[in-house]
Amino acid sequence: MKKLKLGIIGCGTIGTEIAVQVKKHLSNEMTVQAIYDTDQEAINKLKKRIRGVSSKKTAEEVFQDCEIVAEAATSAIVKDMLFLAYKNSTDIMIMSVGGVLGNESILKKLDNKNIKVYMPSGALAGIDAIKAAGCANISSVTLVTKKPPKGLEGAFYIEKNKIDLKKIRKETVIFSGNVKEAIKGFPKNINVSAILSLAGIGVKRTFVKIVVVPGSSVNSHEIIAEGDFGKIISRTENVPSPANPKTSYLASLSAIATLRGIVKNVKIGT
Catalytically annotated residues: 221
Q: Could you give the CA distance from residue 100 to residue 119 in angstroms, rounded to a whole number?
A: 10
| DSSP code for 98 | G
- Between CA 26 and CA 151, with CA 80 as vertex, the angle to 5 degrees is 65
Question: In this structure, what are the phi and psi dihedrals at residue 57, rounded to the nearest 5 degrees?
Answer: -85, -25
Residue 90 contacts residue 114 (beta carbons within 8 Å): no
Q: How far apart are CA 39 and CA 61, in angstroms?
A: 16
Helix/strand/coil percentages in the chain, nearest 5: 40, 25, 35
Size of the chain in residues: 270
CB 97 within 8 A of CB 195: yes
* HEC letters along 35-82: EECCCHHHHHHHHHHCCCCEECCCHHHHHHHCCEEEECCCHHHHHHHH
Cα–Cα distance, 4 to 27 (Å, whole number): 10
DSSP-derived 3-state class of residue 213: coil
